[in-house]
Amino acid sequence: MRLVVVGNGMAGSRLVSEVRARDKDIDVTVLGAETWQPYNRVLLSNVLAGTSGPDQVRMLDASWYADHDVTAVFGDEVVQIDRDTKSVITASGRREPYDVLVLATGSEAVVPPIPGAERAVAFRTLDDCTAILAAAGVARSAVVVGGGLLGVEAARGLAGRGLPVTLLHLAGHLMERQLDPEAGLVLGETLAELGVRTRTGVTVTEVLGDESGPTGVRLADGEVVDGDLVIMACGVRPLAGLARDAGLEVERGVVVDDELRTDDPSIYAIGECAQHAGTVYGLVAPAWEQAAIVADLVTGTDKNARYRGSRLVTRLKAKSVELAAMGETHVDEGADKSTEVVRFSHRARGTYRKLVIRDGRLVGAILLGETTAVGTLTQLYDRGGPLPGDRAGLLFPGLSSAAPVADSPVRMPDSARVCQCNNVTKGQIRACWESGARDADAVAAVTRATTGCGTCREAVEGIVGWLCEQEGVSA
């Protein structure tokens, strides 16, 4: 069987490795538009902040493809799917036949169609990141347009390099998809202490400057915000044009069923380009879940594998800013009498915690500031199990014996999911340790824990350290 994967980003490269882990004989070709070897896009904010280099976010190197008998083509974009001959055609004219085709084309940055937009830099790819870093080295101040997850990460990263940053956002508060207004306010105040000036409820109508670069932006009311580096972080849209041109069903993304097949049974779609049950997921964990299911199906490992959607946990990856949001975070408490909301806010300390409970089960949460409760709440959200009666104990682990302290390794059940991106449990980490893994890197090599967004690394290190301590061995 000839398997062709279009897109060698986080979804495509993961699919290829999942397929090879199950079957050594399938003929596999992966075609990527970028010249870079696959890299972890989630960690680009670390590159921007200077805590990681480009080499440290790489996922697979060239030797891996050779060692695993995978044909990998970099920098040659697929421009056409010929469904009649079951082949794809690249920009260079290469024609690659397939028996099974998987679209993992990802998404592209949204750049508003405003005058001077070409003077700004998007924040989406490693090339974008490289361009931003080059400009930041000589810039006097920066403007980031867009206060969603990427915009906040970009603003914090640049501020961490000592660059004055103004963050401009159209909505009334930051990260409005994940956060309620009060949490957005607390986040803005936290960023202000770190050197980011935030303006919400404003519309950018023009990027000012000349052939030498930007000088700032103009707002709808005529005000000019200065900045000789302008970054656009206005969201992303699925790259579905290739599928649309081939006559496949496309709405917001490429429409797929529970097998992640399109309306052509020979073609699958996964990751940010795919739309399942009306939802396009923009996070890495769902893409990797989908990759595993398609790998099961195309190799025959599990012909009954099905994708039922993902429960999302959003983690902000910005130094000195701890944030996790999951599930339903927006509730009309006046109209919705069936929902219980428990919250705690301490703006002076940059702390905000909110639980959304329905029928005695956690359906949503926001944790901003010191987030020791995140492990416990993520497990309760994932499992949908009943909550203890002491709600305050959930917000403040350790203060009440009624609340499970899942963040403590000794009280964390083996079934607890530690790495959300790769679905790795404490039990799997224990098994790795028992097989000789004595640090987080060794655990990652076997389970891939910590290789997604990276926010679970401290928890993995804590579990490994605790196991070493219990058994009296050296880490």
pLDDT, tens digit, 9 for 90 and up, residues 240-258: 999 999 999 999 999 999 9
**Average of pLDDT values for 159-176?**
96
Instruction: For residue 293, give the H/E element and its range.
Output: helix 284-299
The position carrying tokens 């930007």 is 214
How high is the pLDDT of residue 474?
58
How high is the pLDDT of residue 411?
57
**Nearest CA to 260 among 289, 284, 283, 299?**
289
The band of 56, judged by pLDDT with boundaries at 50, 70 and 90, is confident
Among the listed ranges 15-19, 80-84, 258-262, 327-331, which one has the minimum average pLDDT value?
327-331
427 residue type, one letter: G
The rounded Cα 83 to chain-centroid distance in angstroms is 32
The token duo for 237 is: 């849209």
Q: Please, are residues 117 and 18 in contact by the beta-carbon 8 Å criterion?
A: no
Q: Please, are residues 229 and 128 in contact by the beta-carbon 8 Å criterion?
A: no
pLDDT, tens digit, 9 for 90 and up, residues 338-373: 999 999 999 999 999 999 999 999 999 999 997 777
Kind of pairing between the strands at 196-200 and 165-169: parallel
Domains defined along the chain, listed by start: 2-108+237-299 (3.50.50.60), 117-234 (3.50.50.60), 328-397 (3.30.390), 408-475 (1.10.10.1100)
Task: Enter the pTM of the model.
Answer: 0.87
How high is the pLDDT of residue 400?
47
How high is the pLDDT of residue 59?
79
Q: Does the structure show a pLDDT above 60 at 315? A: yes
SS3 state of residue 45: helix
How high is the pLDDT of residue 190?
95
DSSP 251: S
How high is the pLDDT of residue 409?
63
**Average pLDDT of the chain?**
90
Dist. CA 162–CA 150, nearest whole Å = 19
SS3 state of residue 411: helix
Share of the chain above pLDDT 70, in %: 95
Q: Please, are residues 22 and 434 in contact by the beta-carbon 8 Å criterion?
A: no
How high is the pLDDT of residue 342?
94
β-bridge partners, 267? 101
How high is the pLDDT of residue 471?
66
In degrees and rounded to multiples of 5, residue 272 shows phi and psi of -70, -15
Rounded to a whole number of angstroms, the distance between the first and last alpha carbons of the chain is 45
DSSP 453: S
How high is the pLDDT of residue 406?
44
Q: Please, are residues 356 and 307 in contact by the beta-carbon 8 Å criterion?
A: no
The band of 443, judged by pLDDT with boundaries at 50, 70 and 90, is confident
28 vs 320 pLDDT, higher one = 28
Among the listed ranges 179-183, 187-191, 461-465, which one has the minimum average pLDDT value?
461-465
Kind of pairing between the strands at 121-122 and 229-232: parallel
In degrees and rounded to multiples of 5, residue 43 shows phi and psi of -95, 10
* Alpha helices, H only, 100-252: 126-136, 149-160, 181-193, 241-245
Dist. CA 164–CA 326, nearest whole Å = 31
Dist. CA 399–CA 353, nearest whole Å = 15
Q: Spell out the SS3 assignment of 193-205.
A: HCCEEEEECCCEE
How high is the pLDDT of residue 432?
82
How high is the pLDDT of residue 410?
56
Among the listed ranges 54-68, 193-207, 259-273, which one has the minimum average pLDDT value?
54-68
Q: Does the structure show a pLDDT above 70 at 68? A: yes
How high is the pLDDT of residue 403?
39
In degrees and rounded to multiples of 5, residue 3 shows phi and psi of -105, 125
CB-CB neighbours of 444 under 10 Å? 19
344 residue type, one letter: F
- DSSP of 421-437, one letter per residue? TTTEEHHHHHHHHHTT-
**Average of pLDDT values for 458-462?**
81
Kind of pairing between the strands at 100-103 and 267-269: parallel
pLDDT, tens digit, 9 for 90 and up, residues 377-409: 888 898 888 888 888 888 887 554 443 444 456
Among the listed ranges 69-78, 93-102, 291-300, 383-392, which one has the minimum average pLDDT value?
383-392
The token duo for 42 is: 């989630």
